[in-house]
Amino acid sequence: MKKKILALFNLRTLSILLLGFSSGLPLALSGTTLQAWFAQSNVSLETIGFLSLVGQPYVYKFLWAPFLDRFVPPFLGRRRGWIALMQLCLAIVLCFMALGQPKTHGFYLAILACALAFFSATQDIGIDAYRTDVLPPEERGMGAAFTITGYRIAMIVSGGLALILAGISGFKIAYLVMAGLTFMTMFVTFFSPEPVRTTPPHTLKEAVINPFREFMSRPQSLLILLFLLLYRFGDAFTVSLTTAFLIKSMHFTLVIIGTLNKIVGIGAAILGGIIGGILLARMTLFRALLYFGILQALCSFLFMALSLVGNNIPLLAGTIFADNFFGGMVSAATVVFITTLCDKKFSATQFALFSAITAFSRVFVGPLAGISAQTMGWPHYFLLSFFLSIPGLLLLWPLRNSYYGKSLKLQES
């Protein structure tokens, strides 16, 4: 078994790790780091609030994913070619952003941030499709773990180290350094192994329609889509108001919350993703989704205990660690699940669509969560989040012995 696990560490999975870093790097640079730059420049809160809208391309990226399935760049093939092109565009946009100043070029920087988010979301489409095409089934668990690890490390670099660098040398230097790092990721793309080439759709119409037609022709396709929508609904319900809960009701300081989230939370998510990837190589995907999902759901009781105990730093640290650790395991299993669903001919479109469905609850659960917390109080709120996790877990059972059980196993148990 040890040799089997060590065999998962190869050029393919190493490339996935580094491409995960490339995927996570631009996110904070169009989000929290950019907001910090505007805030330091004494730009109004109204303007800073509108900056959150630049992240919309991440939600709607499935709309242009068919272009990446249909058209093949003249270099590096259908997957790596698009990734390298987006990395070049990202580096150029970051260089232009470094030339601006929020106080005098606020609109200019916002437009560039929109472009950054668009190119970043498009890079994600390419990387997700590349991972789907290049990894054999037995490496998908480790590939998902490495994706999460690389992504989280990049968020620390662009969301934490970039701010430290900005505090020392200014945001212009920070963004230029991030542009240099982004440009260097192109070398990862150049030297990554080429997946087995498949024939792209012959027309754009075929690239748009056939991914949906192909999937909907499968047995229990609607049930699978419902599972994608509900599997992490309880976790999304919990997370949507966690920060407000910790500040307004538990009265933890921003320093404590930020430190635990950055150090304990991100470290736990990386560790959970890696352990989840290793376990995925040893069990069926059904069992991984079931066991990991149950453990994630049980974290609701830790938040419930915190709401009853009150301001308790050790309990907060344990809760954040457990929630992020099991969340990392669930994320690894979910990525493998989506990867296995994709037809390689349409992997860009199908992966973007399936991942958008899983993100739907995270994006739109906020109003329901706010009303629930206001009317029932925090202990009952977190108890409700546990029960909201159950429908997605129950949907695993009717899928277990049908198309899902036969086609979506990593290996026989």
- At 10-67, the pLDDT tens digits run 778 888 889 999 998 898 788 777 777 777 777 665 666 666 677 778 778 888 888 8
**Which of 200, 231, 258 corresponds to the end of one domain?**
200
Together in a domain, 152 and 290? no
Average pLDDT of the residues in 100-113 = 83
Which tens digits make up the pLDDT trace of 286-334? Answer: 888 999 999 999 999 999 998 898 888 899 889 989 998 998 899 888 8
Together in a domain, 194 and 207? no
The residue segments making up the domain with residue 129 are: 1-200
SS3 content of the chain, % helix, strand, coil (to 5): 85, 0, 15
Total residues found in the chain within this entry:
413
What is the pTM (predicted TM-score) of this model? 0.75
Which tens digits make up the pLDDT trace of 226-240? Answer: 898 888 888 888 877
Nearest to 65 by CA among 114, 12, 118: 118
Together in a domain, 127 and 207? no
Which tens digits make up the pLDDT trace of 368-402? Answer: 777 777 788 888 888 998 999 999 899 888 877 65
Together in a domain, 94 and 211? no
Together in a domain, 286 and 386? yes
Per-residue burial over 202-211, b = 16 or more CB atoms within 10 Å of its CB, e = otherwise: eeeebbbebb
pLDDT at 293: 92
Would you say residue 136 lies in a domain? yes
**Which of 177, 200, 223 corresponds to the end of one domain?**
200
Grouping H, G, I as helix, E, B as strand and the rest as coil, residue 44 is coil
Would you say residue 412 lies in a domain? no
Together in a domain, 119 and 254? no
Would you say residue 413 lies in a domain? no
| C-alpha–C-alpha distance, residues 16 and 13, integer Å | 5
Together in a domain, 172 and 233? no
When pLDDT is cut at 50, 70 and 90, the band that residue 6 belongs to is: low
| C-alpha–C-alpha distance, residues 103 and 299, integer Å | 43
Together in a domain, 192 and 47? yes
Domain count, the chain: 2
Would you say residue 312 lies in a domain? yes
The CATH number of the domain holding residue 374 is: 1.20.1250.20
Residue 193 confidence (pLDDT) above 50: yes
Would you say residue 216 lies in a domain? yes
Together in a domain, 106 and 233? no
Together in a domain, 196 and 228? no
Range with the poorest average pLDDT among 13-22, 83-92, 263-272: 263-272
Range with the poorest average pLDDT among 42-46, 112-116, 190-194: 42-46
**Which of 154, 184, 200 corresponds to the end of one domain?**
200
Q: How many helices (H) and strands (E) does the chain have?
A: 24, 0
Share of the chain above pLDDT 90, in %: 16
